[in-house]
Chain A
Amino acid sequence: MARHEGRGMASVNYPIGMNLGGDPSQALIHSNPDGKFTVALSAIDLGQGMKQVSRQIAAETLGVPVEDVYVDTADSDTGPHDMGSFASRGTHRMGNAIIVAAREARGVLLEAAAEELEVNAADLVTDGRGNIHVRGAPSRSITVKATAQAAQFKQGKTIAGRGIFLIPLSAVDAETGEMNPNTAFAHACLVADVAVDDETGEVEVLRMTSAYELGRVINPRMVEQQLVGGAWMGISHALYETPEPYYPNPEHGPRDFNEYLMPGPGDIAPYHVTVLERPAPDGPFGGKGPGEMCANPVLPAIANAVYNAVGVRVDELPITPEKILRAIRANGGVKPGPRRGGPVNWR
């Protein structure tokens, strides 16, 4: 009886936003009299970071410090319509709507500053630190705060903007399945190293190594949070979880976290992610969305690693010890596959 190590991989892509389109997002942005901006949305932050993504995209487009932007979401009386936070659509759809709204607000801001500085608005730039100045002449400047005060109390201007992003709904052909499903796709490849105990049938995920291409990374820490958390969800999905362990037999349903198997802290594997950025042509600053795909390659990579370790295919998820032991027995014992590569190039 022994532990057998194995290595497997999988590569995937993932569509960004609701399939077929037809899922608009809207944004409203306005400044208070001190040049601090509020972004009003009805987007949902499930923990994934919708508020912060919105804030960084708004600040970048407005040309003001990120601290001067606050995202207010979600109140149906004040936040305009948004389809919701699902289908990896938040960053792509809402990000574009925010850019449109922020560009309009920035336009008024620069017009107001131009009036104060007695220059052409087209000659003005922002420094991202709260100042507006004439291009190439940083001394001819005014703060965003002073501009907002002038706009509000002297000029009678609203520094505000509104935006919508919509990919119009596509039809689907009944006979061929022809359609316009999506405009942006993210990509990934993941390698899983596992150890399989041929006595207990247990699988330990030793480590995972992946590369994800996600378009522009809006916030690398939030990308990391999504990809690492999602990979652990993938381990759980591959090896532990189901409310119907003998599906399609509906019995034996778990009722709580004691009965529903999920990985504990000891089951979490070290994980290294490399992120590539090929900007989406229609993404906000090229952004796509890592929200959903982060568990997907983990499932087959682990299944393929189990095969590499002991020579059995478990084609029904989750890959439980019972299924592995039965498959090893049916296969006439453990049959390890070829060793693939050496120790990983990361610590």
Chain B
Amino acid sequence: MLELRKDLFADERDDNLNVVGKGVQRQDMPGHVTARTRFFDDHAFDGMLHLKVVRSPHHHARIRAIDTSAAERAPGVKRVLRGADVPVNKNTLLSLINFGKDDEPSLAVSKVSYKGEPVVAILADSEAQALAARKLVRIDYDPLPAVFDVEETLKPGAPVVNETYPGNYFEYHERFDHQKLRFGDVERGFAGADIVMEHRYQMSPIEHAPTETNGSIAAPEQNGRYVVHSCAQGLFFALGTTAKIVDVESNMLHFIGGTVGGGFGGKVDSLTEPLAVLGAMLTGRPVRFVLDREEEMLYGSPRGAERIYVKDGLMRDGRIVARHIRSYFDAGAYTRLSSYAAIKCTAHVPGPYWIPNVASDIYVSYTNRCPSTAMRGFGVTAVDFALEVQMDRLAEAASMDPMEFRILNAYRDGDMKPHRRAAKNTALVECVQVAAEKANWPLSEQAKRASSLLGGGAGDRAQIPATQLDARGQIGRPDTRSGPVTQVLPAGTSRIAPSKQPVMEGARDGRAAPTQVPRYEPQRPAAPPPPAYQPAPPPYQPGGSYSPPPAYQPASPPPAPPPPAAPAQPQHGAVRFSSVFGTRRR
């Protein structure tokens, strides 16, 4: 059941739109419900081969020898692939954006680092023949000690999971074994707090469990090109990754996809495309490589586990004065995207609250399990679980109602966040108020009057505080994980340039280039607006009369003439244009 509260933030919107905001039927829905939609696996080819991989039965082992001779002679087998057949047999997904070192082979060569790691690929006329031949591959393993715990793996003497990162952690900035966040002085905050509490939280891995398992079909096209029917969540991401691994120019690959049977983050790893294309290149035949359900469950890269320690300093009146977070992402055996998630998590700390002293240390740990990957809420879901359970504990410790406690500590427009950027466009307070009202959870009059527009950015809340820096956790030196403060950064220090204006470009061909997007930039009333909270919600109103976008300007300089004001809702300002970051609301 969905209800729209059009009364809230109404002065910030122009609701006079034609089709945006309307619940019109999806273009693809009739195809979905009549089974006419074509997914990647609905593209069978004549003479198509089926690819199956032989996976490691060990969590961690050296490969002494691989004997594929019996498999090669098996009925229907057209080709057997080993690591040496892969042109670029080491990759890391984020090399496409220049982040991290290549650490993961397509087919393991000298050792396996997780149970299920692909070692050999078999291409046969039928799926059954490929599966039968899979059993004929003989691989001689020498098992190695394995490590599964995100903290154990960081201790000196732990088995090395991933030779590219011999300390079993992702290396940040070529300096540290974790990503730091430092804002103010958390130790002083804890020392001055009435209550200090620390708790440990753990999120286990979970499966994406898409209806359509990972897979792709690759086939030779004309002129030496290959067409690839793919379920990738990023079409060019998969194309770029495949082009790198099979070592061809990107225009030799023609990727078709865009209609995917569920992803949730589990289809960004290009698990099948590179080997399918390589198989098609080496056999000249179309190749289908699709994970079965068991492979998808066990080896289709889950959401990784995270272990999170949250330490808070709390005053008896309910204000949180210091928060420290130490967290470990379980990447599994290879990096994939965990390195990115740890930075996203760093940006998310300390949650949607204003706290004057905040620090975090986020580690990406390698363990001998299937590499984990993105999943819905990547970098945020687990820490939100930890933070919000902790908030419940803190509210109880302060003898406060949990809703009131959230509103008291909520960030508001203008508050400085620990990554040193001011919050804007916030709405946590209003969400709490509306949820409380619908759930019939009583709030005090003071909490009902609170607003995201009021009280933020005042005094200390807008300032970057003097900040304690340290050199803890240097790469290759676990002995440095504890250490003194090395420097105090003065208040107001910023070292990273603010984001440039987003690049938006229309045409360069002499025709006037509309370089700015429409945006809704209401004029603020001179006086602060009344509290946005209103107890009685009006029913869902599906928009007013239509006002067209401003007319196109054939010559650039003159400003766009304002469109006629919508008579039905005169309180809404006209559509305005300005640079995306050029104008501030407050």
Determine how close the nearest CB of chain A comes to the CB of B334; give it in whole angstroms. Answer: 16
Contact B440 A341 (CB under 8 A): yes
Determine how close the nearest CB of chain B comes to the CB of A338; give it in whole angstroms. Answer: 9
Q: Mark B496-510, 1 if CB is under 8 A from A, else 0.
A: 111110111111000
* CB within 8 Å of B: which A204-231 residues: 209-213, 216-224, 227, 230
Contact B258 A176 (CB under 8 A): no
Which residue on chain A has the smallest CB distance to residue B513? A104
Q: Which of A47, A100, A227 contacts B260 (CB 8 A)?
A: A47
Q: Which of A101, A181, A241, A256 contacts B344 (CB 8 A)?
A: A181
Q: Which of A135, A161, A316 contacts B507 (CB 8 A)?
A: A161
Q: Which of B199, B297, B411, B469 contacts A254 (CB 8 A)?
A: B297
Contact B348 A45 (CB under 8 A): no
Contact A167 B499 (CB under 8 A): yes
Determine how close the nearest CB of chain B comes to the CB of A89; give it in whole angstroms. Answer: 10
Q: Which of B18, B26, B436, B469 contacts A52 (CB 8 A)?
A: B26
B284 within 8 Å of A (CB atoms): no
Q: Kindly list chain B residues whose C-beta atoms are within 8 Å of the C-beta of A299.
A: 381, 384-385, 388
CA distance A277 to B425 in the complex (A): 11
Q: Which of A44, A168, A277 contacts B258 (CB 8 A)?
A: A44
CA distance A124 to B343 in the complex (A): 48
* CB within 8 Å of A: which B172-219 residues: 172-173, 175-176, 179-183, 199-207, 209
Which residue on chain A has the smallest CB distance to residue B558? A122
Q: Kindly list chain A residues whose C-beta atoms are within 8 Å of the C-beta of B517.
A: 96, 99-100, 103, 165, 282, 284
Contact B520 A279 (CB under 8 A): yes
Contact B255 A76 (CB under 8 A): yes
Determine how close the nearest CB of chain B comes to the CB of A86; give it in whole angstroms. Answer: 5
Q: Which of A45, A106, A111, A168 contacts B554 (CB 8 A)?
A: A111
Contact B200 A274 (CB under 8 A): no
Contact A19 B379 (CB under 8 A): yes
CA distance A184 to B427 in the complex (A): 11
Contact A180 B427 (CB under 8 A): no
Contact B519 A282 (CB under 8 A): yes
A178 within 8 Å of B (CB atoms): yes
CA distance A220 to B452 in the complex (A): 24
Which residue on chain A has the smallest CB distance to residue B517? A99
Contact A44 B392 (CB under 8 A): no
B274 within 8 Å of A (CB atoms): no
Q: Which of A13, A185, A317 contacts B202 (CB 8 A)?
A: A317
How many B residues, CB 8 Å from partner?
Answer: 176
Which residue on chain B has the smallest CB distance to residue A238? B385
Determine how close the nearest CB of chain B comes to the CB of A249; give it in whole angstroms. Answer: 7
Determine how close the nearest CB of chain B comes to the CB of A53; give it in whole angstroms. Answer: 9
Contact A189 B21 (CB under 8 A): no
- Which of the candidate stretches B78-86, B136-144, B402-410 sits at the interface with the other chain? B402-410
Residue from A21, A71, A285, A313 having most chain B Cβ neighbours under 10 A: A285
Q: Mark A137-159, 1 if CB is under 8 A from B, else 0.
A: 00000000000000000000000
Known: A45-B28, A47-B260. A230 touches B376 (CB 8 A): yes
Q: Kindly list chain A residues whose C-beta atoms are within 8 Å of the C-beta of B297.
A: 243, 253-256, 260
Contact B181 A84 (CB under 8 A): no
Which residue on chain B has the smallest CB distance to residue A22? B97
Known: A110-B552, A304-B402. A189 touches B432 (CB 8 A): yes
Q: Mark A169-204, 1 if CB is under 8 A from B, else 0.
A: 111111111111111110111110000000000000
Q: Which of A87, A126, A303 contacts B385 (CB 8 A)?
A: A303
Q: Kindly list chain B residues whose C-beta atoms are within 8 Å of the C-beta of A56.
A: 19-20, 22, 24
Contact B439 A52 (CB under 8 A): no
A sample of 10 inter-chain contacts (CB < 8 A) reads: A11-B435, A63-B18, A65-B19, A76-B255, A97-B504, A100-B515, A161-B506, A165-B517, A209-B435, A274-B537
